[in-house]
Amino acid sequence: MNKNAVIYARYSSQGQNEQSIEGQIRICTEYAEKIKATPLLKPIKTKPARKRTTTAPTFRK
């Protein structure tokens, strides 16, 4: 059975920077390789939001 993956990395606070996001993507990519999953999309990155929601435009893509 083929496994698929989508990597969704987000800033959890204003204090994080691009390095934080790249670190999340690296860890997720390594895990996907470990479990032999194929990424379906390029990694999705979002900026910090004022409230927690799944209606953010980037998440909805």
Domain ranges of the chain: 3-50
Could you give phi then psi for residue 42, rounded to 5 degrees?
-70, 155
The pLDDT of residue 4: 92
Q: How much is the pTM?
A: 0.62
Residue 28: name the closest of 3, 4, 46, 5 by CA: 5
Find out whether 39 and 32 touch, Cβ atoms under 8 Å.
Answer: yes
Q: How far apart are the first and last CA of the chain?
A: 26
The pLDDT of residue 57: 57
Determine the distance from the C-alpha atom of residue 7 to the mean position of all C-alpha atoms in its chain, rounded to a whole number.
4
- In tens, the pLDDT along 6-45 reads 888 777 766 666 777 888 889 999 999 999 998 887 877 7
Instruction: Say how far apart CA 5 and CA 36 lie, in whole Å.
Output: 10
